[in-house]
Chains A and B, each alone.
Chain A
Amino acid sequence: MNIISLDSHRAALATGTGEPTACRAGEMPWERSIAPAALHEIFAADEIEEGAAAAFALLLGWRHRPGRDRPLFWVREQASLRRHGRLYAPGLAELGIDPAQLMQAQLPDPVAVLRAGADIARTGGVGAVVIELAGRPKALDLTASRRLSLAAAQSGALVLVLRLDATPSPSACWSRWQVAAAPSRPLAAQAPGTPCFDVTLLRLRGGPAGMQYRLEWDRDAQAFHDTPLSGGMAALVAERTDPPARQLGG
């Protein structure tokens, strides 16, 4: 039994690294790091950036779930409700996420969150599951993250672990991201524009890491756009390794 699941995991990993199974409209180079049917970790850069990190996790889950009609699950601790507020359905609709396709589980402790998260991730027909955990719960060890990643490989769901108020620790994740809010491109009369994120790729299995991107979420296209990064040049470097760019050069 174990051997079978391991094999299917390998198969999933192979599709993850090699040719992407489904190429989404407007897919950007960095999005190839989001291997389907795998575990990805998202960290908030700071305590105040937890809202941005949660939003990025949700948008990533929505965009990269394997099927259009497969629902999203959000699993969190009950205590987190007080600190971060509850998910607000009209706000989801404003981001282009159909609230009818999102189910939430609010559970008493991290053990229950991980148990339910693994159970959801293992179930066929689930699109993506976001597991929100605050701090460094004891239950989240290498075994737990390995279990989540195997569950993802088995069901094809995208599993995102959202770590708030935490520093990266060894885990079985495919990629690890750090997210902060970024200033938006202002609209007329200095009104705040569409959501922007500063995203850093901290770790990618079998790939380069350390790239920074400034991403803007386009609700109408249901895609992320690159916006010029005023400070560092890292995003430009990532652009140059991009195959279409090479074609243009050659």
Chain B
Amino acid sequence: MVLAATNKAAAALGLVPGRALADARARVPDLVVLDHAPTADAVLLDWLVMACEVYSPAVAPAPPYGLVIDIAGCTHFFGHDETRLRDDLAARLARFGLTAQLALADTPEAALALARHGEADDDVRLLPVEALAIGGEDHLALRRAGLRTIGDLADRPRTALAARFGEGMTDRLARLLGEIDGRITPHRSLPAVHEEARFAEPLNHVDSAFGVIGELAELACTTLRERALGARRLTASLFRSDGHVARIMIETATPSRDPVLLMRLFREKLGSLNDPLDPGFGYDMIRLAVDHAEPLASTQLDLNGGSATDQPLATLVGRLANRFGRDRITRFASGDSYIPEQAAFELSAIDPPLPQRWSEPEPGEPPLRPLHLFDPPQRVDVIAAVPDGPPLRFRWRRRLHHVLRYEGPERIAPEWWQRQHGHEPGRHGLSRDYYRIEDAHGRRFWLFRHGLYGSEKVDPDWYMHGIFA
């Protein structure tokens, strides 16, 4: 076993990651050792990435132990002074109980290299060649050649370096030196529109936090109006001063930029949260992001000055989907299959409806498909006169039904082309023989025999698949 990571005190004793645990124990007998938990580290890093979104919406994790924040244009709250932002971050991380190396640089690569290998306010050129992070052997080769710092490399002709170490190395070098502008891939995609509010003193009440979200919603709606967009999905992020981030996400059924409607959806959502908002020590920032927006042309108001966005049904669907969950409010979608249970699906009603194709019933014919479908079908005990004939009696839910009238069988073959080896004889699956049945009291059922008697199955089972009107 080797050491994966050490704290400051251990590092001061000369224990560095990579050293064998036995050696370390020999040196420091009362060493406290904990098992390495990479998953827990990743979870903490994720949490930290979210907590750092308080500084900028663009934060990217740099596993295993780093993260990069793109603070371009995000320093106005700190008087356009990057070092003040850095000091604020250091104080915040210290409050979380974390020791961090912070560095400011022009490119993400340079910032990471400075944080890992340098001291604060260092020059990139003074960093050791290990900052290139191109592999131990190459680092050794560079050192053997007498090239110890990035500065040494920067002055060399790049073609020679590329010939020896590959283009990847010169590319990294150029990024470290800021010759190529690098971008980070943020943890979450940048919103179409976002508004934020910071507070000098943390906000302690959920109600006042909601008031702030309302103000932000108005600002965001103004921006949306200017761009002729309507919001479909919004997230309000409430950053608590102890690093916890509460997110409230709402969706609308149609593009909207009506702050009143959006706030009503936020209230609905808040009412249905499993764990209510806990302001704790207070929120020090609130951000409202429009994650997804769609074009929405401006509409003219009525002559008598009514609301332009008077779509009660879309509002209703949005409200229900936000209160109860988007998958609970559904509408139908047609499936492309002969297998009855795959012929229709239910999709969330908040999504735009898909075109639906249903077969037109023949005039004068009774319904051939049941109104209610059991999925999965329910097993029934059936007595039939002959094994491949229609049922005479069947028992379902502890009741005996006598078949008075029937129609069938309607044979539905399995989709053999969907199965592995389905084209081989005997492996195409079981056919179903469907019967429309009416019992002595007029109840109408849809039964099927699973498997053809004799050729597919010796003793086919019967199933109840649906109930007719």
Contact = CB atoms under 8 A, between A and B. Distances in A.
A190 interface: yes
B369 A51 contact: no
Interface in A46-62: 48-49, 51-52, 54-56, 58-59
A123 interface: yes
Interface stretch (B8-16, B133-141, B297-305, B313-321): B313-321
A48 B443 CA distance: 8
A112 B272 CA distance: 11
A95 B370 contact: no
B467 A90 contact: no
Contact of A192 (B324, B358, B364, B437): B437
A184 interface: yes
A124 B312 contact: yes
A226 B330 CA distance: 35
B443 A94 contact: no
A119 B320 contact: yes
A102 B367 contact: no
Given A105-B324, A119-B319, A192 B438 contact: yes
B406 interface: yes
Contacts of A220: 363-364
Given A123-B313, A186-B405, A219-B361, A106 B371 contact: no
Nearest to A116: B320
Contacts, number: 181
B320 to A, nearest CB: 6
A88 B372 contact: yes
A194 interface: yes
B313 A85 contact: no
B358 A183 contact: no
Determine the main DSSP class of A at the interface with B.
Answer: mixed
A104 B329 contact: yes
A119 B318 CA distance: 12
Contact of A51 (B316, B330, B356, B371): B371
B317 A95 contact: no
Given A125-B312, A184-B366, A191-B405, A55 B346 contact: no
Contacts of A87: 371-373
A229 interface: no
A183 B374 CA distance: 23
Contact of B346 (A86, A95, A187, A194): A86
Contacts of B343: 89-90
Given A54-B372, A85-B375, A183-B438, A91 B329 contact: no
Contacts of B78: none
A229 to B, nearest CB: 13
Nearest to A92: B371
A184 B444 contact: yes
A95 B361 CA distance: 8
A94 B316 contact: no
Contact of B361 (A96, A99, A184): A96
Contact of A107 (B328, B364, B407, B442): B328
A195 interface: yes
A55 B469 contact: yes
Nearest to A193: B366
A95 B315 CA distance: 29
B182 interface: no
A236 interface: no
Interface residues of B, number: 56
Contacts of A123: 312-313, 315-316
A130 B77 CA distance: 54
Which among B343, B363, B370, B372 has the highest number of chain A CB atoms within 10 Å? B372
A248 B314 CA distance: 49
A94 B358 CA distance: 9
Contacts of B436: 191-192
A196 interface: yes
Contacts of A182: 442
Given A100-B353, A119-B319, A192 B444 contact: yes
Interface in A77-129: 78, 84-96, 99-100, 102-108, 112, 116, 119-120, 123-126
Interface in B355-402: 356, 358-361, 363-364, 366-375, 397, 399
B372 A91 contact: yes
A189 interface: yes
A183 B466 contact: no
A2 B378 CA distance: 49
Contact of B441 (A54, A107, A126, A181): A181
A248 B440 CA distance: 38
Most A CB contacts (10 A, CB to CB) among B367, B370, B406, B443 go to B367
A106 B360 CA distance: 28
Contacts of B349: 103
A66 interface: no
B143 interface: no
Given A99-B358, A100-B331, A88 B443 contact: no
Interface in B434-469: 436-438, 440-444, 466-469
B76 to A, nearest CB: 43
B309 to A, nearest CB: 14
A120 B442 contact: no
Contacts of B397: 48
Given A91-B367, A183-B404, A104 B330 contact: yes
20 contacts: A48-B399, A51-B371, A55-B469, A86-B373, A86-B375, A91-B466, A93-B358, A95-B469, A96-B361, A102-B332, A106-B328, A112-B324, A120-B316, A180-B441, A181-B444, A184-B405, A192-B366, A193-B366, A195-B366, A217-B469
Interface of B: 312-313, 315-317, 319-320, 323-324, 328-332, 334, 340, 343-344, 346, 349, 353, 356, 358-361, 363-364, 366-375, 397, 399, 404-407, 436-438, 440-444, 466-469
3 smallest CB-CB distances across A and B, nearest first, come from A55-B469, A51-B467, A94-B367
